Structure 1
Amino acid sequence: MGMKEIFSLARVPSILMLGVIYIIYVLIGGVIFWKLEGDLREKDISLLLSNKKNLLMRYTCLNQDGLEAVAQVVQDASKAGLSLKGNNTTDGFWKFTSSAVFAATVVTTIGYGNISPSSTAGQIFCVFFALFGIPLNMVVLNRVGKYMLVIERNISDFLEGKTGRRKCTRFFVHLVSYLSGTVLFFIVPMIVFQLHEGWTYSQAIYYCFITLSTIGFGDFVADSDPDKVYPEWYSILMASWIFFGLAWLALLINHSIDILERLNTHFKLWWSGQKMEEESGNAEIDNPDTQMEDEDEIKRPSATQ
């Protein structure tokens, strides 16, 4: 008995199959992250404990309570976006441009977590702002994505009329669209972030994907270093990049979903076709009436003889 017969007898619902595949995929990812990051995290913890011991030995007047107090000050300053280097004062995170970027991360559900409202009024407003802003953001992004798709199809139809080759033209237009979006929303921002944030290229490309996919871990956040002076256009450029990048990535994900659905439909048609052929073949073999009719056709003389 082959795999097809086993699945056919089991009659496993497709949703259950997808659920099992999903769970297995997540567990495999967990194992890989555990192996890649677990050992490194243990080394980081050991190094931190060693640094803490050396710090207490170097500054004998600093006990455990004093160290915790200093750590609390550093944590609060980092959360407020203030620099502890020198005596200069800054505006912190809650200046207008940073607040606008924060509002964009709320409605896009990125949620870096590096800043958050601390006042009761700010927290309540954030709830209602997100409640109406998230659906609005989805509608706008969907509309922008459709306009991008219309432009792509118009270009494809124009080139198709010139060349007369539909499949090659559509493939070429899709390929150019993907490559252009990759350059515009990943490669160029990667270079900008590397220059203005001091990140490596791998860190910058990682930040680009984590942001545009709305995962938003918050381990890397642009325009948030209190020790750096950013140009005025930087926040505006970031907000524009996030908005149009989300629309482009949503379009790309929709294309990927469409491809997977077509493959699924093709696989189902192939599976059902194979099954119907097997059933029809078995019916012809097992049906004695069919065998008798075939034998009669062989033995019956032809009318033209």
Structure 2
Amino acid sequence: MGVKEMFSLARVPFILLLGVVYVAYVLIGGVIFWKLEGDFGRKDLSVALNNKEKLLTTYTCLNQDALVAVAKVVQDASKRGLSLKGNNTADGFWKFTSSAVFAATVVTTIGYGNMSPITTAGQIFCVFFALFGIPLNIVILNRVGKYMLLIERNVSDFLERKTTRKTCTRFFIHLFCYICGVVFFFITPMIVFQQQEGWTYAEAIYYCFITLSTIGFGDFVADSNPDKDYPDWYNVLMASWIFFGLAWLALVINHSIDILERINNHFKMRWGNSEQEESGNTEDKTPETQVEEADEIKEPPAAQST
């Protein structure tokens, strides 16, 4: 059996192979997180229990029920953005700027979880706001990302006509755009968050990635410390960073798809199509092949790689 026949047969269970790789990837990640965080989590829990015992020992008038009541007050104050150190943040989270950032986190599906509507009307409105806002956000970000990719391609095509090394020119244009994106949406925000929030650089870059990837754990949230007095421009900068950062991420995704399509076409040209595709027999086509052909037919000309 030649290499061509082996490659043709390997395409049949490819979707199963992807499933196995995905499951293995998730399980391996779970094991690594378990090993990295499990022991530390148990130690952290023991420290918390010791602090609880010290608190009860120091303040003898504070029993178990009173400690639970105090913890509930602290939790409620933290959820509403109130500081227990003073009354200088009596407005809490739901100011206009913070509410606008919250609306942005809803439609972008980041969902930090540090603030959420508690009224029935607010919860119902949030449902309908997200129902129409999330698709609108996806469409806009996808369009902006494709427009940015089109500008990048036009610049690359213009420079290619001015030089003889077209491949090197396109590569360096893509590399330059990637570097600019990393600087604008990761390095610069990392410095700003480190200065405004008091985080370490590792925590700031971690927050940047968790936000722009829309994972949104909520363990680090900018503009949410009730003991800090943030400048007025901070909310505007944060909302702009989220929007354009997600658009840049859409550009990266579109560019990655373009690269994968080029690699796929390269292998098709190198190994050729299978005997069933050459004879035009559609009965023996795999589901993956049919999906790929359907995507090629339905794909609009504007989305195809240049």
Give the TM-score, by structure 1 length: 0.84
Structure-1 residue corresponding to 2:108:
108
Structure-1 residue corresponding to 2:253:
253
Q: CA deviation at 1:258?
A: 3.0
CA deviations on 1:55-98 (whole Å, 9 max, x unpaired) are: 10111000000000000000000000000013444211000000
Letter in 2 for 1:178: Y
Give the whole-Å Cα distance in 2 for the aligned partners of 1:26 and 1:32.
Answer: 10
Give the % identical residues.
Answer: 78
Change (3 A) 1:160 1:233: same
Structure-1 residue corresponding to 2:220:
220
Give the whole-Å Cα distance in 1 for the aligned partners of 2:85 and 2:6.
Answer: 68
Change (3 A) 1:117 1:272: same
Structure-1 residue corresponding to 2:178:
178
Give the whole-Å Cα distance in 2 for the aligned partners of 1:10 and 1:259.
Answer: 22
Structure-2 residue corresponding to 1:168:
168
Stretch of structure 1 that moved more, 84-93 or 162-171? 84-93
Letter in 2 for 1:21: V
Matching of residue 131 in structure 1 with residue 131 in structure 2: yes
Give the whole-Å Cα distance in 2 for the aligned partners of 1:157 and 1:9.
Answer: 38
Structure-2 residue corresponding to 1:191:
191
Structure-1 residue corresponding to 2:147:
147
Give the whole-Å Cα distance in 1 for the aligned partners of 2:274 and 2:131.
Answer: 50
Structure-2 residue corresponding to 1:46:
46
Letter in 1 for 2:115: I
Structure-1 residue corresponding to 2:27:
27
Q: CA deviation at 1:48?
A: 0.3
Matching of residue 200 in structure 1 with residue 184 in structure 2: no
Change (3 A) 1:4 1:203: farther
Give the whole-Å Cα distance in 1 for the aligned partners of 2:191 and 2:10.
Answer: 53
Q: CA deviation at 1:259?
A: 2.5
Change (3 A) 1:101 1:10: closer
Gap regions ≥5 residues in structure 1? 277-305
Give the whole-Å Cα distance in 2 for the aligned partners of 1:63 and 1:203.
Answer: 36
The Cα RMSD (Å) is 2.4
Matching of residue 234 in structure 1 with residue 253 in structure 2: no
Give the whole-Å Cα distance in 2 for the aligned partners of 1:132 and 1:9.
Answer: 44
Gap regions ≥5 residues in structure 2? 277-306
Structure-2 residue corresponding to 1:157:
157
Give the TM-score, by structure 2 length: 0.84
Stretch of structure 1 that moved more, 56-65 or 152-161? 152-161
Q: CA deviation at 1:153?
A: 1.3
Give the whole-Å Cα distance in 1 for the aligned partners of 2:41 and 2:4.
Answer: 45
Give the whole-Å Cα distance in 1 for the aligned partners of 2:235 and 2:249.
Answer: 21
Query: Which protein shows a greater Rg?
Result: 1
Letter in 2 for 1:99: S
